[in-house]
Amino acid sequence: MIMSEAPLLDDVKQRIATAARDAGRQPGEIDLIAVSKTFEAAHIRPVLDAGHRKFGENRVQEAAGKWPGLREEYDGIGLHLIGPLQSNKARQAVELFDVIHTIDRPKIADAIAREMREQGRSLGLYVQVNTGEEPQKAGIPPAETGKFVAYCRDELGLPVRGLMCIPPVDEEPGVHFALLANLAADSDLEGLSMGMSADYEIAIRFGATAVRVGSAIFGSRG
């Protein structure tokens, strides 16, 4: 049963390639982040054995419980934090992850900048934008994105790679992907972390450079 997951990975890669070509883009422009949150190492190994190396996790603590061991078994793993980050987890996050997609407020930006300096590490960073301005969702409001990106880059010296969003579940995602792309262009950012299992092909059409795909690769969670 576990071995069925590599063919699912192949299908997603083929869909990414097709969507990229349909949009006049090269498939190599898009990073596929396999979202392995809630899955144990036994479910992740077949995807690693298939040659994939970029994975996403929602929680620092969960990632710390499985990825150090997997990194001893496999070379070249790039680990992405795609879930909310608390400032008291900043030290561990900088130690463990290579990319953080959820820089969503000054307190977190300050904590990550401090830890990167102290640990001598440089991570790829994305600012999370609350494109739907949903009160229950994390992220910088669209109107404040440019100012916050400038704070991160100019005052903190953070290597901001791009922007990230999670569209409202009951709205057309393309509207939010287009908004994120425009906000990124306004701040001279090229990275767009957008698109999940249900809409990554749409996101590619709007310029996604990183898609975060879980269930389409690993199957449903519990």
To which H or E segment does residue 132 belong? Answer: none
pLDDT category of residue 221 using cuts at 50, 70 and 90? low
Helix, strand, or coil (residue 156): coil
Q: pTM for the full model? A: 0.95
Residue 143 has pLDDT above 80, yes or no: yes
Question: With the CA atoms of 212, 215, 218 and 222 taken in that order, what torsion angle do they form, in degrees rounded to the nearest 10?
Answer: 130
Share of the chain above pLDDT 90, in %: 95
Residue 181 has pLDDT above 90, yes or no: yes
